[in-house]
Structures are given as C-alpha cells and as structure tokens.
Amino acid sequence: MCGIVGYVGDRNAYPILIKGLHRLEYRGYDSAGFALVGKNGELNVYKCKGKVSALENFVEGKDVEGSCGIAHTRWATHGEPNSVNAHPHYSCTENIALIHNGIIENWALLKKALIREGYEFKSETDTEVLVNLIEYVRNTNKCSLLDAVRGALKQVIGAYAIAVVEKGREDEIIVARQSSPLVVGIGEGEYFLASDATPIVEYTDKVVYLQDGEIAVLTKNKPLRVVNFDNAECPIDVKKLEMNISELEKGGYKHFMLKEIHEQPKTIMDCLRGRLSPDSYDVILSGVRDNAYRFLSARRIIIVACGTSWHASLIGEHLIEDLCRIPVEVEYASEFRYRNPVLSPEDVVIAVSQSGETADTLAAMSLAKAAGCFVFGICNVIGSSVARASDAGCYIHVGPEISVASTKAFTGQVTVFAMIALTLANTLTRISRDRFEQLSKALLDLPALVQAELDTLDAPIKELAEKFKDSRDFIYIGRGYEFPVALEGALKLKEVSYIHADGYPAAEMKHGPIALIDKTMPVLAIAIPDALYEKTASNVQEVKARGGVVISVVSNDDEMVSKMSDYAIRVPVTDPCLMPVLVSIPLQLFAYYIADAKGLDVDQPRNLAKSVTVE
Ligand code: G6P
C-alpha cells in the first residue's frame, strides 16, 4: 500500500506531485507529504496527518517552489498515522529525504546498529531507518548517493519501492524496487515516477516498469540509467502506456464507486471484446489456448486470491467444475502461502488480483512456481507484478478501478472465468456445441442486461437504501452460484457503510445465524430462478417466521419469494451460471447508496486501501 510519486525536470514539481497523490490516494490515505529540492539546492519536507487535501491546506501560503520532488500518501504499517510518522523522512542531518512503499523487515536490527553509531530517530517507522542507513553508508564510504542507496539496500530485507532526493541535487532522484511496484515515466529531459502509471499518463506515454532488484537514476536532461544492486547496468525496456485520462476522472458522478458501477455494461463488453466472436460464438483466450495442455492435464486447479477477487474466484470454481468437471479449490492467498499446501507440477494455480500487486497473492504464486505448478494470472492492471510473475494469463480489461471498493473488476473477473470455463469445457468436449453457443450468446447479452438493470434499479435502490441506512447488522444469504454473491454483497456493505454484514449459504442459517433474527436484523436473500429456488424460498420462510425483515433479489417475473419479502429487487434473468453478474449489480448499488446516505467517504473508506502490498 502507500502511493509514491516524483518529478525531476524543468517544471514546477508541486502541482504534479499533488495531482499524482490524488490519483494514488486509493492506495492509502492516513497521511501525506512531499519533499522538494529548491533552486538553490535546499531540501524541504512538508507532511501532515490525513488526506492529500489536508496536505494542500497545510502548505497553503508556504514556499513550494522546486523542480525536483518526491511525494507520498500513506497506509500506516509501522507507527500510528500522524505527521511524525508521515513520509517523506529526513535523515538525521536532513541532507537526504526518502519515501517508501512496503516494509523493511529487519528494521529493528538496523535501527539498533544505527543508534550505536549515534543516530537518533524521531518516528516509529522502518522508513526512517532506511534513510539513515543510506546516509550512514554515504558518509562512511564517502560514496555517491547511488552507491549509498545500493549499499544500504544490500543490507535490507523486505519489500519496497523507494525514491530518494538529496540536498544540493535539484536535478536527480534515485529510485529502487523490490516486490513493490514502481513505474518511471520518460519525458523530454524530465522524469516522472509513481506506484502506478495513473499520475504519469498526462505527461508522457513512455514508461519503464522497474524490475525487482533494480535501481534507477533519474537525472534531468540525461538518459535513464538502471543498475542492479551490484552496479551492473540493466537493460531498459521502454513500454508505451495505453491509458485514457478520462478513465481517471469522475465523469460527472459523485463518487468513483458509482461511476464504476455504471461503467459495467461497457467494461463487461471490453472484457469480451476480441475474445468472444459475436458471429461464430467462439471464445479465444490466447493464454488458455496456447497452454491448453497444462489445463487439460491438470490434476486440479487451485485459485488463490484475496478480498473481492476471492469471491469472484469462488464463482470461477463453480463455473469450471460445473462446465468442465475439473476439480477446483479456492484458497485465500494469505492462508495458502503459510499452510504448507500439497502441490505438484500437475496442478494449475490461477492467481486472481485486480491490482496485480497484492503481496499475499504474489507470495502464493511464488510458492506454486517453486513447486513446479503452471501459474496463470487474471488481473486488471497491465504490466503489474501478477501479470509479470505468471506463466500465462488473461487481463480483465475493465480500465482503472479507483474506488477502493471493487465493483467492475469483480464482474470482469467473473466474465473471464466464464470464458475460461467455456474454452476448457469446449476443448474437453464436456459440453455440447448447443450449450456452448447458448452460454456464449448469454455472455454477449450481459452488457445490455446490466444496462437495463442500472436504468431501472438505480433510483428504487437509492430509496431502499434510505430506509436501511441506520441498520446495525445485515445478513446476506444465497445458494450455489449465489452464495459467493452473498459474500461479496455483504463485503461491499461492510467496506463502504461500516454496517456489520455477513454472507451465508442460505441453508446454513439454521445452524446458527437464525438465532440472530428479529425485526432489527434485515436479511437480504438472493432467490433467483435456478435449481435451488424452492429451497431458498423455504429459507426465506424460516426468516419470516421469526419476524425477520427480508429484502429479496428475485427475477423480474418472480411470484413466490417476492410475496414473502418485505421488499423485492427485481433483476433480469440469464443462464444461472451467469446470474452472479446480474445479482451483484443491485448489491453494489445498495451498499453505495447506504454509504452515501450516511454521508461517508465512499471512495476511501476508513482503514482500507485498494492495493494491499503488505502481508
Ligand atoms: C483490498 C481491496 C479489495 C480487493 C483486495 C484484493 O482489500 O480493498 O477491494 O478485493 O484488496 O485486491 P486485488 O488487487 O488483489 O484484487
């Protein structure tokens, strides 16, 4: 987590840094700060607790001139979120300033050693240890800043993306990466750096994604230099950035979350485009096609993910087992990586991650690779660590997701899983051509159905949200394909509205949660027409019999469950295996409108961050 951004060139750095921090605020917003090297070489650090807007107020009227600067927005790991622990951190002499995304694991040992050398520390952070270590190496070895950074990093264990500036050097920033993302943007005689490309896109489309163990020297008007920790020159792979600035703005919506919910007809279409032919109904996913033998000979498929991506993976499990009859297990990446799982080279591991930077997911992938498994990545961010660490993969192509609560990435992930399942089922001849074409067509029809839902449901759900905004708890129930949707609906509500919500398989209610039912406990029941409809209807009856308040999500022409319910949300119908997409839309809107009705900061809920690059 944490976002870092930097600029060196001829422009005034401050506006670039602030705009960049706003773009990266989804990565954390406990505190923010920046360091500038001014025209006369002076190095100034400005930082404060709170969001980037607090930082803007804080520097109002202060001198923020300078064309070399680094900035940071923090998601606290070491030390509480306050202005002392905020980045950048000065070295003891205030000659060097550093920003850092990640964790230095051996900070305590290094700190002890530096204290013995007379260093004093103001903050509780691991970052202050690193900046002082760099200064120590620089002074002891009388070496260049680059060599000092190299020397310090050789002693460091952990994950980091760092940027370093020094007093008197208004033309240079040194950056380095190990397991945390870092992109360098190359302009005309100027450089940009950031945790992802969003702060860079309006200035240049030439970017370099630094690799682990690389240090880059960004010097104004000089070519980019990249070396490894042993000072050997590294090849520089300049990529063209494919990103549209309008995707990074709210486009008239009050929040990114609402914008992203409403984008889904387009993002699902973008995900299908070029992969599912509207003429032949054939599905072509090159990452799957080119490695079909790995999937087809798989002893089993293991899917690893976190958060919302884990919920999408549960739907992926249903799809692949249902259509392909290949055994699938879904694991929390954070559990999988530490529980000594039994793996073999005949296993296929699918890693699912919107950001492609989640530390636990990346660690789970390394474990799988070490065991010889074939590792397939499903992610959104182009060039992300998951994409690079995979043997093959598939992007969901839903565009930048800015809201911390994931919406369009979830439906994109489900769409990709549906295409993977169709491809494998077809190759294995586990489904008939008729069924294959029926499902392909249903996938192609999804964007229009989602649009119809958004057109008809937005206003009524806003009204419904007003009625439930003061609830303290919620239970979401569903069965089969809809159980993961219940989990995801409950997670969305928790994340943005801070209302406690649990997702349950509907039939499990009677094994515990039913004890909670009374008139203050609303139950959101998903009861769409599938093989389990009647059974879910009985579960709804059980709730009603105990005085519970039921909001049901039912089909447009539902008669039974809607009558039992206090409120019914009606959705269009498609094949049951694609219904998770249509059912998740109203649940996203419901969570959004409750949070908005409560006046909460929907896009940046407390304590959360979009990209969790620490374990
Ligand atoms: C964080 C985000 C969630 C996301 C999860 C996994 O918790 O707030 O929205 O689902 O990380 O992230 P990933 O990028 O790996 O999908």
Q: 244: left (phi > 0), else alpha (psi -120 to 50), else beta?
A: beta
Q: For 467-509, how does the pLDDT look when each residue is reduced to its tens digit (9 = 90+)? A: 999 999 999 999 999 999 999 999 999 999 999 999 999 888 8
Whether the bond into 327 is cis, omega within 30 of 0? no
Question: In terms of DSSP bridges, do strands 300-305 and 328-332 run parallel, antiparallel, or are they unpaired?
Answer: parallel
Give the start-end residues of each E strand in 537-589. 549-555, 567-571
Alpha-carbon distance of 236 to 226, in angstroms, equals 7
User: Which residue from 1, 180, 304, 610 has its CB within 8 A of the most atoms of ligand 1, so it is best to mutate?
Assistant: 610
* Cα–ligand 1 centroid distance for 356 (angstroms): 9
Q: For atom 15 of ligand 1, which residue has the closest CA?
A: 353
Q: Please give all residues whose beta carbon lies within 6 A of any atom in ligand 1, as ranges.
A: 306-309, 353-355, 358, 361, 404, 406, 608, 610-612
Residue 84 confidence (pLDDT): 87
The yes-or-no verdict on residue 270 having pLDDT over 90 is: yes
* Cα–ligand 1 centroid distance for 55 (angstroms): 26
CATH code of the domain made up of 457-604: 3.40.50.10490
**Pick from 126, 12, 31, 15: which is nearest to 72 by CA?**
31
Which atom of ligand 1 is nearest the CA belonging to 309? 16
Q: For 174-190, how does the pLDDT look when each residue is reduced to its tens digit (9 = 90+)? A: 999 998 889 999 999 99
CATH code of the domain made up of 247-431: 3.40.50.10490
Extents of the domains making up the chain = 3-243, 247-431, 457-604
* Cα–ligand 1 centroid distance for 412 (angstroms): 14
User: Which residue from 261, 313, 354, 395 has its CB within 8 A of the most atoms of ligand 1, so it is best to mutate?
Assistant: 354
Question: Token pair for residue 193?
Answer: 């750096």
Question: Token pair for residue 176?
Answer: 């380095």
Alpha-carbon distance of 37 to 97, in angstroms, equals 10
Q: For atom 1 of ligand 1, which residue has the closest CA?
A: 610
Q: For 206-256, how does the pLDDT look when each residue is reduced to its tens digit (9 = 90+)? A: 999 999 999 999 999 999 999 999 999 999 999 998 877 777 888 889 999
Q: For atom 2 of ligand 1, which residue has the closest CA?
A: 610
Alpha-carbon distance of 286 to 436, in angstroms, equals 18
Residue 258 confidence (pLDDT): 97
The yes-or-no verdict on residue 126 having pLDDT over 80 is: yes
**Pick from 401, 410, 459, 482: which is nearest to 196 by CA?**
401
Helix ranges, 325-383 (H): 333-336, 359-370
Are 3-243 and 457-604 equal in CATH topology? no
Alpha-carbon distance of 360 to 173, in angstroms, equals 30
Q: In what order do the strands lie in the sheet with 549-555?
A: 500-505, 473-478, 522-526, 549-555, 567-571
Helix ranges, 142-234 (H): 145-153
| Active site amino acids | 2, 610
Q: For atom 7 of ligand 1, which residue has the closest CA?
A: 307
- Report CA torsion sign: 272, 274, 279, 282: negative
Question: In terms of DSSP bridges, do strands 43-49 and 31-37 run parallel, antiparallel, or are they unpaired?
Answer: antiparallel
Residue 29 confidence (pLDDT): 81
The per-residue pLDDT of the chain, averaged, comes to 94
User: Which residue from 355, 402, 411, 413 has its CB within 8 A of the most atoms of ligand 1, so it is best to mutate?
Assistant: 355
Percent of the chain whose pLDDT exceeds 90? 83
* Cα–ligand 1 centroid distance for 584 (angstroms): 17
Residue 611 confidence (pLDDT): 76
Alpha-carbon distance of 536 to 558, in angstroms, equals 13
Global pTM? 0.82
Residue 1 confidence (pLDDT): 67
* Cα–ligand 1 centroid distance for 610 (angstroms): 6
Tracing tokens 């020397």 back to the chain, one arrives at 151
Q: For 27-82, how does the pLDDT look when each residue is reduced to its tens digit (9 = 90+)? A: 888 899 999 999 899 999 999 999 899 999 999 999 999 999 999 998 877 778 88
* Cβ atoms 40, 10 nearer than 8 A: no
Q: For 553-601, how does the pLDDT look when each residue is reduced to its tens digit (9 = 90+)? A: 999 999 999 999 999 999 999 999 999 999 999 999 999 999 999 999 9
Question: In terms of DSSP bridges, do strands 347-353 and 374-379 run parallel, antiparallel, or are they unpaired?
Answer: parallel
* Cα–ligand 1 centroid distance for 493 (angstroms): 15
Q: Which CATH number fits domain 3-243: 3.40.50.1360, 3.40.50.2000, 3.60.20.10, 3.90.226.10?
A: 3.60.20.10
Q: For 356-368, how does the pLDDT look when each residue is reduced to its tens digit (9 = 90+)? A: 999 999 999 999 9
Alpha-carbon distance of 18 to 23, in angstroms, equals 9
SS (H, E, C) 176-187: EEEECCCEEEEC
